[in-house]
C-alpha cells in the first residue's frame, strides 16, 4: 500500500507561538516525512505513524510538551519491532512518552504543569491501530457514514454518559475544556487502544477539539468525501476557525493511499484544528 500525505500547521492570529504539533513518520525508513507531505509513500513492514497533539501549560510550555511528545513517540515507535507494532508495544511507547514529558515538567520550573493531548495511529498492512490520551479524536469514514473511534477523556463526556447533560449541550458547558487525562500531567497514564481494518475508500480522521467542537461529524464526512484531500486540509477543514475560537492554533495533516490493483483509493487522514 502507498499513501500520499499532506500536512499544515498555523499558529493563528492571536498568539506568537504555536502549542499544537503533528507528525507523519515512516517507521520502516526511520524518518519524519518532511513538511508532513509525501507523494505515493510506500507503507513498509513497520507502517506509518500519524499523530496530533494539543499542548497546554502556558509560557510556551504547551509548545514544548506537544513537540517533546511527538519526538519521543517517533523514536520509541521506530525502535519497537521490525514489523507492524503490536498493541501492547504501542501502549508501552505512549506510556514512555508520558513519563518523559512528566519528568521534563518536574525538572524545569518554567515548564511546570505542561501537558498535551495525544491521538496517534499506526497504519500498517491495511490495519490502523489508535492510541489516545485526552480529548482529541479519531474517526473513520466508510462510504457516507462517519464513526467516532475514540472516547473523549473529558468531564463533559462523563456527564453525557451519566445522563446529566445531552450531547448537544456540551458546547455550552462551563466544563467543556476540562480533560481527565493528558500526557505529562501525572507520572502514569492509562492508554486506550482501538483498531480498524482499512478498506478501499475508507478515510481515517484524527482531530483536536478545535475541529470536533465546531464541525459536526456529518459535515466532516461531507468535506472528507471530496476527491482532493490536500484541498480539504488546506481550505475545507481550516474554514472552521472563526472569531469565536477559544484557541488560535490550527494544524492539519492528511494521508491518502492506494492498494495495488484497487480501483478505489484507501484514503486515511489525520487532521487537527486549533
Q: What is the pLDDT of residues 86-111, one digit of tens each?
A: 899 999 999 999 999 999 999 988 88
Q: What is the pLDDT of residues 144-164, one digit of tens each?
A: 899 999 999 888 888 988 999
Please state, as a whole number, how many other Cβ atoms lie within 10 Å of the Cβ of residue 75.
16
**Among residues 269, 244, 270, which one has the least CA distance to residue 256?**
269
Question: CA 219, 144, 136: angle at the middle one, nearest 5?
Answer: 50
> For residue 97, how far is the Cα from the chain centroid?
15
The fold adopted by the segment(s) 2-273 is: Phosphatase 2c; domain 1 (3.60.40)
Given strand 137-142, what is the order of strands in its sheet?
Answer: 145-148, 137-142, 203-207
> What is the value of pTM for the model shown?
0.84
**Domain definitions of the chain by residue range:** 2-273
CB of 251 closer than 8 Å to CB of 52? yes
In angstroms, rounded to a whole number, what is the distance separating the alpha carbons of residues 177 and 155?
A: 8
Q: How confident is the model at residue 185 (pLDDT cuts 50, 70, 90)?
A: very high
- Residue identified by cell 473511534 is 149
Using DSSP's 3-state secondary structure scheme, residue 211 falls into helix
Distances (CA, A) of 245 to 116, 167, 211: 19, 20, 10
Amino acid at each position: 500500500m502507498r499513501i500520499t500525505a499532506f500536512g499544515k500547521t498555523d499558529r493563528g492570529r492571536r498568539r506568537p507561538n504555536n502549542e499544537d504539533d503533528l507528525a507523519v513518520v515512516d517507521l520502516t525508513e526511520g524518518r519524519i516525512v518532511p513538511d508532513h507531505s509525501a507523494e505515493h509513500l510506500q507503507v513498509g513492514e513497520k507502517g506509518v505513524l500519524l499523530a496530533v497533539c494539543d499542548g497546554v501549560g502556558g509560557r510556551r510550555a504547551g509548545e514544548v510538551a506537544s513537540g517533546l511528545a511527538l519526538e519521543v513517540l517517533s523514536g520509541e515507535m521506530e525502535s519497537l519491532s521490525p514489523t507492524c507494532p503490536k498493541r501492547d508495544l504501542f501502549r508501552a511507547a505512549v506510556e514512555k512518552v508520558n513519563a518523559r514529558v512528566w519528568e521534563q515538567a518536574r525538572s524545569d520550573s518554567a515548564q511546570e504543569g505542561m501537558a498535551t493531548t495525544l491521538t496517534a495511529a499506526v497504519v500498517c498492512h491495511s490495519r490502523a491501530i489508535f492510541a489516545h490520551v485526552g480529548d482529541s479524536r479519531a474517526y473513520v469514514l466508510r462510504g457516507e457514514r462517519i464513526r467516532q473511534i475514540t472516547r473523549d477523556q473529558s468531564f463533559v463526556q462523563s456527564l453525557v454518559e451519566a445522563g446529566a447533560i445531552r450531547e448537544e449541550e456540551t458546547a455550552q458547558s462551563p466544563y467543556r475544556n476540562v480533560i481527565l487525562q493528558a500526557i505529562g500531567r501525572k507520572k502514569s497514564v492509562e492508554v486506550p487502544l482501538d483498531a480498524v481494518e482499512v478498506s478501499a475508500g475508507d478515510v481515517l480522521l484524527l482531530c483536536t477539539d478545535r475541529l470536533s467542537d465546531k464541525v459536526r461529524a456529518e459535515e466532516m464526512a461531507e468535506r472528507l468525501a471530496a476527491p482532493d484531500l490536500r484541498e480539504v486540509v488546506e481550505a475545507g477543514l481550516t474554514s472552521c476557525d472563526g472569531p469565536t475560537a477559544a484557541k488560535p492554533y490550527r494544524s492539519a495533516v492528511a494521508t491518502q493511499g492506494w492498494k495495488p490493483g484497487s480501483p478505489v483509493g484507501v484514503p486515511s487522514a489525520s487532521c487537527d484544528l486549533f
